[in-house]
Amino acid sequence: MTRWGRRIAGDTTTNGQIRHEDALKADGTARIAVAVTVFAGVCALAAWSGRADNAETHAAWYSIAPPLLAIVLAFLTRHVMLSLGVAILVGGFLSAVPQAPASGHAWTQGVVATASYLTTTLSSGTNLLILSFIPPIFTLVEIVVASGGFAGIVVWLLRRVRSRQSAQLATATMGLLCFIDDYANAIIVGSMMQPITDRFRTSRAKLAFLVDATSAPVSGLAVVSTWIAYEVGLFADVSVHLGMGKTGYAMFFDALSYRFYCLLMLVFVFAHVLTGRDFGPMRTAERRMPAEGGVGTADTEQAVQPLVAGRALNALLPLGGLVAFHITGLWIDGAGPARLADGGSPLSWDYWREVISASEHSHFILMCAALFGMVLAALCGRLSGSLAPSALPGCVVRGVRRALLPSIVLVLAWSLKHCCQHLGTGDFLTGLLAGRIPPHWFAPLLFLVASLTSFATGTSWGTMAILIPTAIPIAFALDGNAYGLTTTISLGAILDGAIFGDHCSPISDTTIISSVASSCDLVEHVRTQLPYSLAVAAIALVVAYIPCSLGLASTWGLTLGAATVLLVLLIVGRRIHCAE
């Protein structure tokens, strides 16, 4: 109902509105009660355990308060920047005030400490290089969209769509091709594929699922995307702090083998499209589709929007140039030619892992690749005549505006990390948990913690920012202060758990964008998608994360997971029979 409709109907729905407001107040009160109870309980347990184990000889128990407060506030407010900012401020006070709580100088020192965390972050050349990558990559996306590049890819795909199955397959394929950014992926694929999926009687709920299930997983896995600088930056920071001797890119590539949820979700998407099998609420939505004659949600009256023609090369050339520039730069900087001369094979995964690990200027190369791709996108748009010169400033402004949020979150995440290092959060947790949690259970447990945190907060990036600096030191200690199996699996578990929780959360930005772009009701999207996400997460946890933590090779874990996905579809799923 529109804003004006609500005003007209206000007098007749007063009682219903009052009940709805009372329900919201009750829900808010319950959330506050749960958050306060969890915060107080965990702090009390940490204080008791710390004294019992003499952990305070290395760090005080209240060193856990800043990251815990960030999680609790994010759960309550659903504002990551506010939550991280308050946590940093509290951490600054905890660094000085407990020693002399009645001293005004101590409180002043707390403010100074808070400022020092931010200045330390912003004075790092590596951090600035990572931040400099984000605006041009978002601008590149805006230019490609404005020049019709993604629309051209869609038009090319649609020439090959002949059935309901091929319409869904084209949607999933578009989700893979738009790897550069999850927001752009959801908006482009959802809005552009909607007319064709409607034509071949695919429900809007199925379209929203295909869009949502390929956006964040693909962007999170891609070697070049708006996610990579964020993930690599967090990894590099914790590597330097712990003295791992690994670059952020090397850790990212090592973790790829243990990104079971993202990889298995992509397997699930294509397997369920190719087999034509659905289950749960999604099957009901698909069965209802033929009777509705072209749409599958409450948005039945919305007119189908025509596709805007474009040139596929306007997207393929800039994205291909971006990837080629980036890989070539890493190859040269990592002594790839010399390793090739020594007998290395470019077809070997170990060869590329060694080359990328040896690259000492990966962040600078990433920034240059983004600028190269942005310039190439502008040239392609101009040469093809599909991008007016007057449109370029608007693309830049929109790109920079979109880059502000992840940049600020990243700065706050780094600052919270400095705060935790100053307070000794990692040392306290390591001393407290290292002897109590078997190493093979830590990564699966971390996957669950990341999932719950991301689901409650609706943000995968915020979850990564909170958990990577605090949990990876524990994994490192469980590995005997070495970069071993537990640490590597834990890296993948945090990233995947964050994406899984975000994928299920009704307050997640990508969930909302996917439903809006697909013209699907948000509740319907969450209700139909949730069983699929839970099924894939359960398979990833039971069949992959736990066995691989016990020593099973990651390739076997992924193989068993993929086989289980197919088995579940064949046993639980049912085909939808309708005239296409």
Which residues have CB under 8 Å from 396's CB, separation 6+?
A: 139, 142
d(CA 455, CA 453): 6
Q: How many CB atoms lie within 10 A of CB 175?
A: 27
Query: What are the structure tokens assigned to 488, written together?
Result: 């590597």
Count structural domains, the chain: 2
Residue showing tokens 């005003």 = 7
Report the alpha-carbon distance of residue 211 to residue 510 in Å, rounded. Answer: 10
Long-range contacts at 505-510 (CB < 8 A, ≥ 24 apart): 505/454, 505/455, 505/456, 505/457, 505/458, 506/458, 507/78, 507/457, 507/458, 508/454, 508/458, 508/459, 508/460, 509/183, 509/458, 509/459, 510/182, 510/183, 510/186, 510/212, 510/215, 510/216
Residue type at position 498: A
Q: Which residue range is the domain that position 406 belongs to?
A: 125-575
Tell me how far apart the alpha carbons of residues 549 and 491 are, in angstroms, rounded to a whole number: 12
580 found inside a domain: no
Please tell me the distance from the alpha carbon of residue 133 to that of residue 181, in angstroms, as a whole number.
13
150's tokens: 């993604």
Residue type, 152: G
Whether residue 230 lies inside any domain: the answer is: yes
pLDDT confidence of residue 232: 81
In a domain, 439, yes or no: yes
Q: How far apart are CA 511 and CA 55, in angstroms?
A: 41
Q: Is residue 231 part of a domain?
A: yes
Same domain? For 427 and 503 the reply is: yes
In order of 206, 271, 554, 573, 574, the CA distances from 281 in angstroms are: 10, 18, 32, 11, 12
Bridge partners (DSSP) of residue 575 are: 277
Q: Are residues 115 and 143 in the same domain?
A: no
Residues 131, 117 share a domain: no
Is there a single domain that holds both residue 107 and residue 129?
A: no
Same domain, 421 and 480: yes
Q: Which of 225, 155, 143 is nearest to 195 (CA)?
A: 155
Q: Say if 336 falls within a structural domain.
A: yes
Q: Tell me, yes or no, whether 253 lies in a domain.
A: yes
Are 129 and 102 in a shared domain?
Answer: no
Tokens of 540: 């990833």
Q: Do 190 and 99 belong to one domain?
A: no
Q: What is the pLDDT of residues 413-472, one digit of tens each?
A: 778 878 877 887 766 766 666 567 788 889 998 898 888 777 766 668 777 877 888 888
Of 100, 122, 144, at which residue does a domain stop?
122
Residue ending a domain, among 68, 99, 122, is 122
Residue pair 41/70 in contact by the 8 Å Cβ criterion? no
Three-state DSSP state, 539:
helix
Beta-carbon neighbour count of residue 463 at 10 Å? 29
Reported as type and span, the H/E element at residue 152 is helix 149-158
In whole angstroms, give the CA distance from residue 175 to residue 188: 9
* Cα–Cα dist 326/61, whole Å: 44
Q: Which pLDDT tens digits describe the chain residue by residue (580 residues)?
A: 333 333 334 444 455 555 555 555 665 677 788 778 878 887 887 778 766 555 444 677 888 788 788 878 876 776 768 888 898 999 899 888 888 887 888 889 989 999 999 998 888 887 787 788 778 877 887 888 888 887 777 677 667 777 888 888 888 888 887 776 676 677 667 767 777 788 888 888 898 899 888 888 888 888 767 677 678 878 888 888 888 888 887 888 889 889 999 999 999 999 999 988 888 888 888 887 654 444 443 333 333 334 444 577 888 888 788 878 878 887 888 888 888 888 777 777 677 767 766 777 777 887 888 899 899 989 988 888 888 888 889 989 988 887 887 778 778 877 887 887 788 776 676 666 656 778 888 999 889 888 877 776 666 877 787 788 888 888 898 888 888 899 999 999 999 998 998 888 766 767 777 777 777 877 788 888 889 999 999 999 999 999 999 989 999 999 999 999 999 999 987 887 654 4
DSSP structural state of residue 96: T
- Grouping H, G, I as helix, E, B as strand and the rest as coil, residue 278 is strand
282 shares its domain with 363 = yes
Residue whose tokens read 């393929």: 316
Give yes or no: residues 183 and 67 share one domain.
no
Rounded Cα–Cα distance for residues 214 and 175 (Å)? 5
Alpha-carbon distance 506 to 525, whole Å?
A: 9
Q: Do 342 and 358 contact (CB within 8 A), yes or no?
A: no
Q: Quote the pLDDT of residue 565.
A: 93
Same domain, yes or no: 100 and 130: no
Q: Are residues 349 and 460 in the same domain?
A: yes
Q: Is the domain of 116 the same as that of 224?
A: no
Q: Do 182 and 219 touch, CB atoms closer than 8 A?
A: yes
Rounded to whole angstroms, how far apart are CA atoms 366 and 121? 19
Question: CA–CA separation, 163 vs 173, rounded Å?
Answer: 15
- Closest C-alpha to 472, from 212, 239, 177: 239
Asked if residue 171 lies in contact with residue 193, where contact means CB atoms within 8 angstroms, the answer is yes
- Give the span between the Cα atoms of 570 and 550, in whole angstroms: 29
Question: What tokens does 492 get?
Answer: 């993948």
Q: How far apart are CA 219 and CA 225, in angstroms?
A: 6
Query: How big is the CA angle at 138 (ends 136 and 143), to the nearest 5 degrees?
Result: 90
Tens of pLDDT, residues 224-273: 676 776 788 788 888 888 888 888 878 888 898 899 999 999 999 999 99
**CB burial string 117-149: b at 16+ within 10 A, e below:** bbebbeebeebebbbbbbbbbbbbbbbbbbbbb
Which of 83, 107, 122 terminates a domain? The answer is 122
